[in-house]
Structure 1
Amino acid sequence: MKKEVILKVKDNFVKELKAGNPLIHSDAIMNGKDLKEEGAIIQLVDERSRFIGRGYYGKQNKGTGWVLTQNEKEELDQSFFDKKIKAALSERATFFKSNDTTAFRVFNGEGDGIGGLTIDYFDGYYLLTWYSEGIYSFKETILHSLTALADYKGVYEKKRFNTKGTYVEDDDFVMGERGEFPLIVKENGVNFAVYLNDGAMVGVFLDQRDVRKTIRDQYANGKTVLNMFSYTGAFSVFAAKGGALKTTSVDLANRSRAKTIEQFSINAIDAESQDIIVEDVFHYLKYAVKKQVAFDMVILDPPSFARSKKHTFSAAKDYKNLLKDTIAITNKNGVIVASTNASGFGMKKFKGFIEGAFKETGEKFKYMEEFSLPCDFKTIREFPEGNYLKVVFIQKLS
């Protein structure tokens, strides 16, 4: 059993923690000097030494640790982790039974009761992502829970120990049998090639599943589609599957071309019939505006922060201007899929960017529909930052 450290919380942080927000901010702790080693179990008390919660110390960009229980009698032992993992597996039972979708999230950090940890499932393989050295110190306990409760072919991991979420290079294989990559998984009947052993990213962002399906089933047919910040072309594949006349995928990363061709190929789509452009998106936008190139649908899903040789992009500061350029290359009655994973602001502020962009361009629009995280990405009301995804379908009116 790990030694427990008692930490006193400043009065102005107590209410939020008692209300169920599990994130422990570093400036909330009065005796932070008592924290020596990440992974230490911590008991939080108020300035009058009354119990608030029990959790662990682990530094990441969001804070200095997480509350895991508000039950004073509950210990953070093997049975605690067994209970959390079992509940998460049970809540995803319908996903495990699906033949059309074989990649999804099994455990979503604080939404499932353990901040700093996510677990994804890829057709028999589990991928654990650790966001601090603190949660990583519980690795053997958590692996014991997972492998005792779930059938698996193999287990992989990603380490994001840096306070900026930077990937820690290491052998990602943990146990079981090593996968043969690319591993072909399905999402709503569409194939994805994923790599659990090749750096920080695996090849697809699972949180956009509902958005991709909507594009395929309701919007893509007969349309010209531009996919900006396209990564491996997942949106483009779904648009093509939905009957798009043509897709154009734009991303700065050199490997995006080969990765996008691969995704098209495993879905029997001729990549030669699509446009795949390796270029700075901001430069491409200027080119498209100058040449009056326009599309029926534009998918705009930038990272929350990005830097190229000539541009630095922050969603909180720059999304509105990026959207203004996007409006300029969207045909009348066309649709913009505006998306952000920035956790620092909510849907209301995001819609403020959208409304501001249309007002400043003098164009009119209407909201079609909106999305947040899919159901396997479980969140809690007490921690709104955890529900980071904001996607809005917008029609540019004639």
Structure 2
Amino acid sequence: MRQLVEVQVQSEAIKQMTNGNPLLLKDAITLPAGDIEEGSLLRLVDKAGGYIGTGYYGTQNKGIGWILTRKEREQINEAFFVKKIREAAEKRAAFFTSDDTTAFRVFNGEGDGIGGLTIDFFNGFYMVSWYSAGIYSFREDIYNALKAAVNTRGVYEKLRFETNGQYIEKDDYVSGEKGEFPLIVMENGMHYAVDLNDGAMTGIFLDQRNVRKSLRDNYSDGKTVLNTFSYTGAFSVAAALGGAAGTTSVDLAKRSLPKTIEQFAVNGIDYESQDIKLMNVFDYFSYAVRKGLKFDLVVLDPPSFARTKKMTFSTAKDYPKLLQDAIAITNDGGVIIASTNNASFNMKKFKTFIEKACTAADVRYSILEEHKLPADFAVPNNCPEFNYLKVVFLRITK
């Protein structure tokens, strides 16, 4: 029997909740004395005992749980999850019937009503990612609901949460057909190789789909392209397919080399005609300056946080310097795709980083395009802070 706990919401937090914010912060509610099990249902009330919503207790980096419903009589059971997943799938109907895209997000956590849970589609296979032990305790109901709501070729899962003081990062097969990896998916007619059972990431970040399309269609033809923090080279593939004169992919991770070669290969691109560098991006900037290398277009999409033997990098404090380094090796009139998925600051703040970098580099810039999360990455109404992706296409004039 799942534990049901009545908790009082602090007065200052009630307005945010009633306006649609589903995140439960530790200082927003008063938990009763004693231990609460992960996955316990929380009946949220005000000081007078008035009902606000029902959520679950699940600790993760964002908070200690999520509101699931604001209907007092609604039960949190398998039928509830069937309804949520089915509604989410119906909103993505155009993706399911697309003839040139077979990889997208089916369920985006709090944006589709269940924080801490995401479900991605990869050519008939589903990848379910769990971000707290609390939501993972609903595993049986949610998997039954997934099978009831959509046709599943096969299901895989990724666990990415802390339990008993230990962070779990695990991936596994769940049910249905076992995939033969790499699995080839399509994105706007481009092909990408993914592996659903090989660590925390699959080989492609689905939230950058529209950015890759624009890079291919509007900015690559005849251009020299530098793709920094390139991971598996997805941006490089898009640039090459868009007619780039040449691409250079730079990443420190050892597996980025074979993965990038693989991505070029599945698109019929001779990887030997492209440049793939296995090195620290910050060192590459220095190398490029020494060699007098410059590019027509630079993709700058760093991780929010990274640590090497030499340095620690955080987009929240170091992005302006990183962008300044990129400007130094960008041709006059060239384009920089400045991107971050750091949710701790908004687009307005990100643009101050851009202004700071361009001022320090003594260059002028114009904004050509802006991107946030694509349509399949739904966010809660009235909660722009959950739209974490910020991408700005910049034209640099020296």
TM-score bracket for the superposition, by shorter chain length: over 0.9
Counterpart residue type for residue 191 of structure 1:
H
Equivalent residues in 2 for 1:318-397, closer than 5 Å = 318-397=318-397
Distance change in 2, residues 1:166/1:155 (3 Å)? farther
Alignment correspondent of 2:83: 83
Deviation digits for residues 240-295 of structure 1 (CA, Å, limit 9, x no counterpart): 00000000000000010000000001100000000000001111112212332110
Give the corresponding residue for 1:172: 172
Equivalence for 1:57: 57
Output the TM-score relative to the length of structure 2. Answer: 0.97
What is the number of residues matched between the two proteins? Answer: 397
Describe the shift of the 1:167–1:297 C-alpha distance in structure 2 as closer, same or farther (beyond 3 A).
Answer: farther
> Pairwise CA RMSD of aligned residues?
1.5
In structure 2, what is the Cα distance between the partners aligned to 1:166 and 1:235?
34
Distance in 2, matches of 1:166 and 1:94, equals 40
Asked if residue 104 in structure 1 is aligned to residue 115 in structure 2, the reply is no
1:137-160: CA deviation from partner (whole Å, max 9, x where unpaired): 111111111101211110000001
In the TM superposition, structure 1's runs of 4+ consecutive aligned residues that sit over 6 Å from their partners are none
Work out the CA distance in 1 between the residues paired with 2:237 and 2:199.
Answer: 23
Distance 1:32 1:238 in 2: 53
| Residue 35 of structure 1: how far off its partner (Å) | 4.8
Structure 2 runs not aligned, ≥5 long: none
Deviation at 1:174, TM superposition (A): 0.3
Q: Deviations over 1:115-150 (max 9, x none)?
A: 000000000100000000000011111111110121
In structure 2, what is the Cα distance between the partners aligned to 1:271 and 1:335?
Answer: 24
**CA distance in 2: counterparts of 1:108 and 1:181, whole angstroms:** 24
Give the superposition deviation at 1:34.
Answer: 4.6
Q: Match of 1:215, as an amino acid?
A: L
2:304–2:340 Cα contact (<8 Å) kept: yes
> Partners in 1 of 2:314 and 2:384 — Cα distance?
20
Per the TM alignment, residue 33 of structure 1 is displaced from its structure 2 partner at its CA by: 3.3
Partner amino acid, structure 1, of 2:127: L
**One-letter code aligned to 1:231:** Y
The 2-side partners of 1:34 and 1:190 are apart by 53
| C-alpha distance in 2 between matches for 1:17 and 1:275 | 50
Q: How far off its partner does 1:308 sit? A: 1.2
User: What amino acid sits opposite 1:13 in the alignment?
Assistant: A
Q: Is the 8 A contact 1:54 1:68 kept in 2?
A: yes
User: Deviation at 1:166?
Assistant: 9.1
Alpha carbons 1:155, 1:176 under 8 Å: kept:
yes
Equivalent position of 1:213 in the other structure? 213
Q: Does the 8 Å contact 1:5/1:35 carry over to 2?
A: no
Q: Does 1:68 pair with 2:58?
A: no
Q: Give the superposition deviation at 1:392.
A: 0.3
Distance in 2 of aligned mates of 1:363 and 1:29: 49
The SS at the match of 1:334 is strand
* Paired letter, 1:188: N
Conservation of the 8 A alpha-carbon contact between 2:159 and 2:171: no
1:14 paired to 2:21: no
User: What's the CA shift for 1:31?
Assistant: 2.4
Which amino acid in the other structure matches residue 385 of structure 1?
A: E
- Residue 122 of structure 1 is matched in structure 2 by 122
Which digits, 9 at most, give the CA deviation of each residue in 1:25-79, with x for residues without a partner?
0122222535521000111112222111101000000000000111112121222
Identify if the C-alpha distance between structure 1 residues 342 and 358 changes in structure 2 by more than 3 Å, giving closer, same or farther: same
Structure 2 CA distance for aligned equivalents of residues 35 and 48 of structure 1:
24
Please say which of residues 118-127 and 373-382 is displaced more in the overlay.
Answer: 373-382
Give the secondary-structure state (helix, strand or coil) at the position aligned to 1:168: strand
For 2:359 and 2:343, how far apart are their aligned partners in 1? 25
User: What aligned pairs does 1:268-283 form with structure 2 within 5 A after superposition?
Assistant: 268-283=268-283
Deviation at 1:365, TM superposition (A): 0.8
Report the alpha carbon displacement of residue 395 of structure 1 after superposing the two structures with TM. Answer: 0.2
Q: Tell me the secondary structure at the aligned position of residue 142 of structure 1.
A: helix
SS at match of 1:178: coil
Partner of 1:132: 132
Percent identity of the aligned residues?
Answer: 59
Cα distance change on mapping 1:166 and 1:21 into 2, 3 Å: farther
- Contact preservation (8 Å) 1:159, 1:167: no
Of 242-251 and 309-318, the range deviating more from structure 2: 309-318
Secondary structure of 2:161 counterpart: coil
1:244-263 matches, within 5 Å, as 244-263=244-263
- Quote the residue 2:222 is aligned against: 222
Query: 1:198 — aligned with what?
Result: 198
What TM-score results when the alignment is normalised by the length of structure 1? 0.97
The residue identity in structure 2 corresponding to 1:396 is I
What is the letter of the counterpart of residue 18 of structure 1? T
- How far, CA to CA, are the matches of 1:167 and 1:247 in structure 2? 37
3-state secondary structure, aligned to 2:175? strand
Give the equivalent residue in structure 1 for 2:158. 158
Asked if the contact 2:59/2:134 (under 8 Å) is kept, the reply is: yes
